Amino acid sequence: MKLIKQFCSFVGKEIDIKQASLINIIRSEIAEKGAISFPRFWHQALLHEKFGYYMKQDVFNKDGDFVTSVEISQMFNELIGIWLLNTFQHIGVLDNNFRPTNQKMHILEFGPGLGTLSSNVLRVFAQFNLLENIQYSYVEYSDYMRKKQQEAVLKQLQKSNIYPKYEYNNQKVEKFESAEVNLKWFKMYEHFLYEETREGQHCDPVLILAHEFFDALPVNIFEYSGGQWCEKLVGLDQDGKTLKFILSNGPNQNVQKILNPDKYFSPEIKKLIKEGDTIEISPQSGVIANSLAELIAKVGGAALIIDYGEKRAFSDSIRAIQRHKLMDKNDILNKPGDCDLSAYVNFMALEQAALKVEGIKVPELMTQGNWLEQMGIQARLQILCKNANKATEKRLQSEYERLVHSNQMGSNFKFMCIHRTKNNNLFPFIQDAQQIYY
Ligand code: SAH
């Protein structure tokens, strides 16, 4: 009956078969249940099993839709590799001479994209003869991306004559193992937690990487309308086809549960709120940041979260990118699966969520430019340039500028660290360090 009803609702309308499905699936859902929350739309657009943006295509680099720092330059990834080694030593997983102890070097990476960061990190570890005793865990929702990551990582390990064998796949975790390394791909962070930290399971300290992961997590949008907070939902226009934002009829459950305006806004801010003001909140980001802090407090380690954003909430930061171009705001809802969706990261919310956990410290946020300079990007650039021809030297120099200069990616992107209070001052996050802007 339901199927017939759905089919009838489309009779007489022309359906573009090529872009069919995802938008039609969303339309049907709305027709059946009423307007959906923006995070529900977001999940379908990026991660729908068949048609989701990350589930079916190469989205990175020249032929894709966007480029990230890890794809721009090996220098970026190498310095993260060095940070990992340095931090492993600082927390006692490597000894004073950077030699392994009896603890595993456990790295957990969220949303590894093409696997480039991870491959470069493993290359750095190989250069220091440290490709043993590594456990590298990955959280990746997309089967398509997971395959790409596995190809890249296994290719890198082959260069060191390491051939991890496919161990098993039970939908939630895929494992590759060798005498030296142990690689595990988890579809969701919950699966990682279940597998690695359940009762009786031993988990060594873990260093966590999240590069442009949090900006891919959905936000709820709330709007102040008619003297009350409402949620911006995704509904259908009168034509029954076009998706558009509509406001909930007054404060819905999410207004109370997620925004909770009475608590969220201070009395001074409340006085300034006016008709049409909006605010974005990502509950999933808070939950993950809090859980990472709990994990670190329990097993030791630290998290390095890198993304564009600031220490504040945003009102209108959602972006849809296709073929390196920002899409018109009105198109955001009508190209699900064909463009990337992202929102600026509210580092204040991540910090507050992490600091709810006892024994956790979050030092001052650093800009990407500052972090890379402190980690020695100029020295690395000089060494690479020494052995390079003129064309390569020029390329390296422009990569450096793109990553570090403030009019490029140097100040929009931030580095955030979460660590245990007892591992004070994790380099280069020195709390009262002067922030240098380039
Ligand atoms: N870190 C990479 C990729 C960033 S794009 C880089 O900087 O180049 C975001 C990545 O996160 C993709 O690999 C995407 O498939 C994955 N992803 C997006 N949402 C996710 C979710 N909810 N859970 C797990 N992985 C997700």
Q: Does residue 68's CB lie within 6 angstroms of at least one atom of ligand 1? A: yes
pLDDT in tens, 34-61: 999 999 999 999 999 999 999 988 888 8
Ligand 1 in contact with 340 (CB < 6 A)?
A: no
Cis peptide before 218 (omega within 30 of 0): no
Widest Cα–Cα separation across the chain: 73
**Ligand 1: centre distance to CA 70 (Å):** 13
Structure tokens at 182: 């142990």
Closest residue (by CA) to atom 5 of ligand 1? 113
Residue 18's pLDDT is what?
A: 46
* 162 token code pair: 């390491």
* CA distances for 233 relative to 25, 188, 230, 249, angstroms: 16, 26, 9, 10
Q: What six digits make up the tokens of 432?
A: 């009262």
Q: How far is ligand 1, taken at its centre, from the CA of residue 30, in Å?
A: 27
Mind listing the pLDDT tens digit for each residue in 419-435?
A: 999 988 899 998 644 44
User: pLDDT digits over 115-161, tens only?
Assistant: 999 999 999 999 999 998 899 999 999 999 999 999 999 999 999 99
Our answer on whether the CB atom of 196 is closer than 6 Å to any ligand 1 atom is: no
CB 98 within 8 A of CB 89: yes
Residue whose C-alpha is closest to residue 369's, from 418, 323, 415: 415
The packing angle between helices 74-90 and 116-127, to 10°, is 60
Distance (Å, whole) CA 260 – CA 272: 17
155: tokens are 């290719």
Which of 43, 140, 189 is the pocket-test mutation for ligand 1 (most atoms within 8 Å of CB)? 140
Tell me the pLDDT of the chain averaged across its residues: 92
115 in ligand 1 pocket by Cβ < 6 Å?
A: no
**Whole-angstrom Cα distance, residue 23 to residue 137?**
34
* Distance separating alpha carbons of residues 139 and 154, to the nearest angstrom: 17
Q: Whose CA is nearest to atom 6 of ligand 1?
A: 113
Q: What percent of the chain has pLDDT over 70?
A: 94
Residue-wise pLDDT tens digits, 2-34:
444 444 344 444 444 444 589 999 999 999 999
| Residue whose C-alpha is closest to residue 292's, from 365, 348, 353, 211 | 353
The rounded distance, in Å, linking the Cα atoms of 54 and 418 is: 28
Q: What is the pLDDT of residue 5?
A: 44
Nearest CA to ligand 1 atom 14: 111
- Which residue's alpha carbon is at the smallest distance from atom 18 of ligand 1? 216
Rounded to whole angstroms, how far apart are CA atoms 107 and 118?
9
Backbone angles phi, psi at 275, to 5 degrees: -45, 130
Q: Closest ligand 1 atom to the C-alpha of 139? A: 24
CA distance 331 to 177: 45
pTM score of the predicted model = 0.93
Q: Is 213 in the pocket of ligand 1 (CB under 6 A)?
A: yes
In angstroms, the CA 76 to CA 401 distance is: 12
- For residue 418, how far is its CA from the centre of ligand 1 (angstroms)? 20
Q: Which amino acid is at 326?
A: L
Q: What pLDDT does 65 receive?
A: 85
User: Looking at ligand 1, which atom is closest to the CA of residue 149?
Assistant: 13
Q: Would you say residue 66 has pLDDT above 50? A: yes
Ligand 1 site-directed mutation target among 140, 142, 213, 341, most atoms within 8 Å of CB: 213
Q: 172 Cβ partners below 8 Å, 6+ apart?
A: 186, 187, 188, 191, 194, 195
Can you tell me whether residue 322 is helix, strand or coil?
strand
Kindly give the distance from the C-alpha atom of residue 318 to the centroid of ligand 1, in angstroms, as a whole number.
16
Decide whether any atom of ligand 1 lies within 6 Å of the 365 Cβ.
no
pLDDT digits (tens, 9 = 90+) for 291-328: 999 999 999 999 999 999 999 999 999 999 988 889 98
Q: 156: closest CA among 185, 186, 114?
A: 114
Alpha helices, DSSP H, located in 91-199 = 116-127, 143-158, 189-197
Q: 169 pLDDT band (50/70/90 cuts)? A: confident
Is 71 near ligand 1, meaning CB less than 6 Å away? yes
CA distance 173 to 188: 9
